[in-house]
Amino acid sequence: MSEQAQPKAGGRAAPGGVLRLRGREFGPGRHAVMAVVNRTPDSFYDRGATFAFGAALEAADAALAHGADIVDVGGVKAGHGAHVSPAEEIGRTAPFVAELRARHPEAIISVDTWRAEVARVCAEAGADLVNDTWAGADPDLVRVAADAGTGLVCSHTGGLAPRTDPHRVHYGDVVADVLATVTGLARRAVASGVRPDRVLIDPTHDFGKNTYHSLELTRRLDELAATGWPVLVAVSNKDFIGETLDAPVAERGPGTLAVLAVSAWLGARVFRVHDAAGARAALDAMAEPALRPGGGRGL
């Protein structure tokens, strides 16, 4: 796994493929849990459970207490739903980021947005990472990340516009398409001034993909890890798990943990999840003995 994660020559990833955010380092074999906190009333998973400011803070506190390394704050549902203006998205995210930064000075804070203006205000409020799940739909976003000194997630959506679903999507080789897109975006980010050790790539399961594509990406995730760019996987309770197991959203926890384990084994570095405690336990079990809590003593 560690050998797979070394960067190829000329790949422009950080030396050793190390991810650095807020003074912390995540090299090959070190797994970072990214806890989801949705400041939305219509999330597919929690149906608005953390929309209220206080509830969102409690969720973030709990996630950090249970081993999360990163809190990912989102203000717009990924899928179809009511229109959310940039101003409203800023109102949902930036004050929360500021409060979370004051409350947890050492925590890594991510903002899930594709809009440059939202990313800029959230970076000013204290965000360390811009999680762009829509593959650079706003071309100014990369410049915001560079100017603010934040990290950037480079994703793949198969050309879909934000908040749209695929229809009869087809790829000759979905992994090849993802590799070309995310590494291209990563190189563009570095050329625009984003530090190489703050860039991640995300195959973006289910975005612009059907269940077969997401399963194929999971099986061949080592090909993404082999680029040297740290790989983020956001698979928690997603539809490809539900369709594979014929499980509704509330029953996708075991499938999620299985995909997290496979992804960790194949070299993924950051794991975006709804259940931080469960993910932390699963990923610690997958870690190399020297990197486990307590150094793997007693094993």
Q: Which of helix, strand or coil describes residue 176? A: helix
Residue of 209, 269, 272, 280 marked active site: 272
Q: How far apart are CA 89 and CA 117, in angstroms?
A: 10
- Judged by DSSP in three states, 202 sits in strand
Q: Does the annotation mark 272 as catalytic?
A: yes
**How many CB atoms sit inside 10 A of residue 57's CB?**
17
Q: What is the DSSP letter of 9?
A: T
> Which class for 167: exposed (0-12), middle (13-18), buried (19 or more C-beta within 10 A)?
exposed
Residue found by looking up tokens 């990563």 in the block: 186
Per DSSP bridges, beta strands 24-26 and 19-21 are: antiparallel
Catalytic pick among 92, 238, 269, 280: 238
246 Cβ partners below 8 Å, 6+ apart?
none
Catalytic residue status for 8: no
Contact 235, 270 (CB under 8 A): no
Element (DSSP H or E) covering residue 92: helix 86-103
Q: Are strands 70-74 and 32-38 parallel, antiparallel or unpaired?
A: parallel
Quick one: DSSP state of residue 8? P
Residue 245 C-beta-side C-alpha neighbours within 13 Å: 19
Find all residues with CB under 8 Å of 245, minimum gap 6, and list them: 251, 252, 255
Residues that are catalytic: 238, 272
